[in-house]
Amino acid sequence: METLLSEDVQGDRLISFLSRINEEIRKKAQELALEHSSSPIRLDVNRLTVVADTVEGPVPLRDMGSGDNHLGYHVATLLSLHEWFAENDNPVPGVLILDQPSQVYFPPDHVGEEVLESDDRVLLLNIFNAIHRTLRRLDGKLQVIVMEHADLEDPAFSNHVVHRWRRRDGEALVPAAWIPPEAD
């Protein structure tokens, strides 16, 4: 038992596990056509970031370009971690909640119902397809809840919508009756 708990053994196991997780992150990054995805990708657990090891040197997530790259690497990393947890029977709850992943594709001053540019639409659908591929592989071991303001008509999105909450219809995720009136 002492051997299993030694720092060397724990360190070696962490390196081994991260190697396998990093491989999955890179596969997903390549499927999403993210910047630097042709380079080795690693989760740096000490700095809590993703790093691409390019021929010019390491490129941390903060320097990897646009918002869609940041979103893509976050999704690729979270899905890869959940895959590893599920496949290795770890006691991590099999739930991932994403809040408005389409946000990176709308301009900062976006208000109302604006249609996504076709390239942005494809990039967003790629994110949803990556989620679906992971869910199919895990066959019920992971639930992904996406709260989204975009409403895409593509089956990769619309076939998985459980409910459309619309405040203008008097519906909301949190019913109005649950919200106490403002104090005077």
Q: Which two tokens stand for residue 87?
A: 């496949």
Q: 63-101, pLDDT tens digit by residue?
A: 998 899 999 999 999 999 999 999 999 999 999 999 999
Closest CA to 160 of 145, 171, 172: 145
pLDDT above 70: residue 105 = yes
The model's confidence at residue 52, banded by pLDDT at 50, 70 and 90, is very high
- Average pLDDT in the 147-160 region? 83
Contact 22, 82 (CB under 8 A): no
Q: Report pLDDT for 108.
A: 59
Q: How far apart are CA 90 and CA 41, in angstroms?
A: 23
pTM (two decimals): 0.84
Q: Report pLDDT for 96.
A: 97
Q: Pick the range with the lowest mean pLDDT from 26-30, 92-96, 119-123, 172-176.
A: 172-176
What is the torsional sign of CA 113, 117, 118, 123? negative
Q: How far apart are CA 74 and CA 46, in angstroms?
A: 16
Q: Report pLDDT for 184.
A: 45
Average pLDDT of the chain?
87
Match 């700095």 to its residue by tokens.
47
Question: Looking at per-residue confidence, does 184 or 76 come out higher?
Answer: 76
The model's confidence at residue 180, banded by pLDDT at 50, 70 and 90, is confident
Closest CA to 123 of 154, 144, 99: 154
